[in-house]
Homo-oligomer: A and B are copies of this chain.
């Protein structure tokens, strides 16, 4: 899926090169993983993709949109894209939080997430777009899982599912952005949120 139009405009001229599109996204992904979003340049993307800078500019108007397409195309595979549902909410959330945290330590994933965060700080419009494409679905899936847990009576009556989802994702962000801090264990976070006394 491109950032311009969902499907080919089916015009008269030469059709868009799918090969170039794939090569550019792959190059962008590799470069982000190697050096981070700040050091990412259109120049380097085009060079590594073997395409021209003009071709990049023709289809994407900003670095952030390229990164957004990485998510849409599944180039960024978050191992935490789905929240497990074994019936035990606490265990599921701990597993998810641990998985997300360890994913940031993976050089194949961490830099891309930071890239999304940085791109989000560029402008509010991009932040909204990226939220809809990446963070939003996660948040929705979390709320769904929490509601199922609530139905099963696995959440304290004091807890609000949306607030819990905010806090869970926020905790992931906090851990990603503060490599110097010593975060609380995932189990402690989940128990705190669920309102379940320590065993």
Contacts and interface: CB of A to CB of B under 8 A. Distances in A.
Interface of A: 36-38, 114-115, 117-118, 120-124, 127-128, 131-132, 135-136, 139, 156-160, 162-175, 177-181, 183-185, 188-189, 191-198
Given A114-B121, A172-B170, A177-B120, A158 B194 contact: yes
Contact of A169 (B117, B120, B156, B174): B174
B157 A156 contact: no
A198 B161 CA distance: 13
Nearest to A182: B162
A23 to B, nearest CB: 20
5 contacts: A114-B121, A132-B180, A158-B194, A165-B184, A193-B193
Contacts of A164: 192
A84 to B, nearest CB: 20
B117 A198 contact: no
A160 B177 contact: no
Contacts of A122: 36, 38
Contacts of A179: 124, 127-128, 131
Which of A117, A122, A163: most chain B CB closer than 10 A? A163
B117 A180 contact: no
A158 B198 contact: yes
A120 B171 CA distance: 16
Contact of A158 (B139, B177, B196): B196
A160 B192 contact: yes
Chain B CB within 10 A, most for which of A136, A170, A198: A170
B180 A160 contact: no
